[in-house]
Amino acid sequence: MKVHLRVFVEIENLGKAMNALSDAGITGFYILEYKGMSPQDWKGFVIKEDPESTIGLIRDYAKDAVLVCSVVNEERVDKIVESVQKALEGEKYTILEVPIRRIIVSYGDINKKNTDEKAEPWIFEEQGPCFKCGENAAQKIIIDKNKAQVFCSKCGASSSYNLYTDKLEDK
């Protein structure tokens, strides 16, 4: 089963939380910024029941916080939680584990898209020595799907490189 792991932290502890999650093996996450108040912070406040007063009070007194979320396999949760607890020892945080019954991902109507569509190449310039004349000059670099080209702005020489990727298999 998959678990939606949610870690609430104050903004100043975001780096600690992110490092702990990464160290425990999280590879993907999303972050939501919010303003929050703990029940002990709220205690003693009496507010009018109009939305403007409530929102104003929260804006004025709530702390900046972050919710870091990730979907993980259930068997990995304990290790991840331990890592976060250790990293945030003595700090204020909340961890929620929400079981996921189903995940549905839609990529739109993939049949309508041409999968051979050419992606836009990356084009940038880098200052450095030319591979041919050796002069320090702007090198225009174009990286396409499976090819890189370098052009020297000084002597006009160009060089092409084929790019290969090895497909990694799950073991």
The Cα–Cα gap between 87 and 90 comes to 9
Comparison of pLDDT for 111 and 116, the residue scoring more: 111
- Positive or negative, the CA dihedral 77, 83, 89, 92 is negative
Specify the pLDDT at position 136: 87
Calculate mean pLDDT across residues 150-162.
85
Full-model pTM: 0.56
Phi, psi of 113 (to 5 degrees): -85, 145
* Strand blocks (E) in 83-145: 93-100, 122-129, 136-143
CA-wise closest residue to 70 among 31, 102, 106, 44: 31
pLDDT in tens, 34-89: 887 777 777 776 667 778 877 787 778 888 889 999 999 999 999 999 999 999 99
pLDDT at residue 171, rounded to an integer: 44
Question: Which amino acid is located at 59 in the chain?
Answer: R
**Average pLDDT of the segment spanning 138-153:** 84
